[in-house]
Amino acid sequence: TALRLIPFAGIFFLWFLGAVRAHVGDVEDRFLATVLLGSGLVFTATLFGAAAAASAVLAVAHPAGTAPSLTTWDFGRHFAYTLLTDYAMRMAAVFVSSMSVIGKRMGVLPHWLTVVGAVTALLLLFVSSHVPWVELVFPAWSLLLSVHILLAGGRRRRVTPT
């Protein structure tokens, strides 16, 4: 079930990326915006690759209810896990760090959120492949950023004269 939800998670992440860029608006730095967009796209592609690897090993490992061979199971499990923890999380770290720098330089994020972003990026960059469950700091940071964007967008709409 989780593997079937991954494509929707990728689609929602791309919408999130669009919302982040819309929040930054015209003040964004072209270099950082390119890094943000590129890392977001590579993260999504790598996430899809990890999900495809996991799906493939499950499909090949269990034809007609047979037990998987140990080498097939180990290869597929390690391949999908490495794609997710080593590569996708590194791209997520680049995404978070570039958004934090944009937020700090352009003043579109509060200071506390840029600090949380820096800590999140460091955890994803250096710890995620060694400590299980650290990958969850990325969706937690994304949730914080989403709530900030929603609240900031609501304040902007209320202040604007009609």
Ranges of H-type helices in the chain: 2-24, 30-61, 70-82, 89-106, 111-126, 137-159
pLDDT at 159 over 50: no
C-alpha pair distances (Å), 160 with each of 98, 156, 157 = 29, 6, 5
Q: Which two tokens stand for residue 24?
A: 């930054």
Q: Give the three-class secondary structure for 66.
A: coil
Q: Which two tokens stand for residue 120?
A: 């999140």
pLDDT at 161 over 70: no
Q: What's the distance, Cα to Cα, between the start and end of the chain in Å?
A: 46
| Residues 10-24 pLDDT 10s | 999 999 999 998 888
**Dist CA 29 CA 34 (whole Å):** 9
Q: What is the CA radius of gyration of the chain?
A: 18
**Dist CA 123 CA 121 (whole Å):** 5
Taking alpha carbons only, the member of 118, 93, 117, 116 closest to residue 42 is 93
Q: What is the pLDDT of residue 57?
A: 82
* pTM of the shown model: 0.85
pLDDT at 156 over 60: no
- Exposed/middle/buried for 81, CB within 10 Å: 0-12, 13-18, 19+? middle
Q: Which two tokens stand for residue 29?
A: 């730095």
**Average pLDDT value over all residues in the chain:** 88
Amino acid at 111: H
**Dist CA 157 CA 136 (whole Å):** 32
Amino acid at 140: A
